[in-house]
Amino acid sequence: MRQPPRTPSDVAFSPAVKAAQAARGSRDFQDGLPPWSDRVTPRLAQFIGAQTSFFLGTASAAGQPYIQHRGGPPGFLHVLDARRLGFADFAGNRQYITIGNLSENPRAFIFLIDYAYRRRIKLWGTAQVVEGDGALLDALRPEEGGGRAERAIVFTVETWNANCPQHIPQLIDAGLVAAAIAERDARIAELEARIARLTTDGPFRPVP
């Protein structure tokens, strides 16, 4: 029997996953959704460029999973082209679990979540540890923050999908809150100064 052509969503929807969807009544629903992409679209690139953290999932050859958090200034996760993302790997706790996993199993997963706007993106693909490429490392190293960059990690996208905002708590970055408060306080000070001028020099000047 001839098999249907493989689609990007098949990376996530294995035969076992499709069987579970069929058994629980969601297979037809999934088939009716817009097709998944295997390219970084301009809108996805904009979302990635605004994020200050993400989670990277890898697994050993035996299938033992591991999730690592990565953080940095906006743009520290770079879009290299329509299929590849990259970031600098900084010196850390020296466990090297991610590096060890990728040496025997290139399968990887990136999970991006924007708490402020309650959005999340899932990316499936493979990852490669790149040692000794100074030019690439210089391109990936953030201009601020970070630490000692030791190597680069390049992630090749096989497919990605956006999740609904259900159950995502809305959390606001402390820096954004501080900036909003400062802007509000400056506006209040401006209005208070204007009121003070009107009451002393304008039509509301007190009668002696």
Residue-wise pLDDT for 22-72, tens only, equals: 999 999 999 888 899 999 999 999 999 999 999 999 999 999 999 999 999
* 107-123: pLDDT as tens digits: 999 999 988 878 899 99
SS3 31: helix
Q: Please tell me the distance from the alpha carbon of residue 88 to that of residue 136, in angstroms, as a whole number.
A: 9
Q: What is the model's pLDDT at position 4? A: 58
- The two structure tokens encoding residue 101: 């996993």
Q: Could you tell me which residue, 51 or 92, shows the higher pLDDT?
A: 51
Mean pLDDT of 164-168: 77
Higher per-residue confidence, 52 vs 3: 52
Nearest to 161 by CA among 120, 200, 207: 120
Using left for φ > 0, alpha for ψ between -120 and 50, and beta otherwise, residue 206 falls in beta
pLDDT digits (tens, 9 = 90+) for 96-154: 999 999 999 999 999 999 888 788 999 999 999 999 999 999 999 887 766 788 899 99
Is residue 3's pLDDT more than 70?
no
Does residue 180 sit in helix, strand or coil? Answer: helix
**Domain ranges (residues) in the chain:** 8-23+36-163, 172-208
Quick one: pLDDT at residue 1? 47
Q: Where does the pLDDT of residue 168 fall: very low under 50, low under 70, confident under 90, or very high at 90 and above?
A: confident
pLDDT at 69: 94
Least confident of 28-32, 71-75, 89-93: 89-93
3 state SS of 129: strand
Give the CATH H-level superfamily of domain 8-23+36-163.
Electron Transport, Fmn-binding Protein; Chain A (2.30.110.10)
Residues 6+ apart with CB under 8 A from 198: 204
Whether 76 contacts 101, CB under 8 Å: no
Q: Which of 45-59, 73-87, 98-112, 169-183 has the lowest mean pLDDT?
A: 169-183
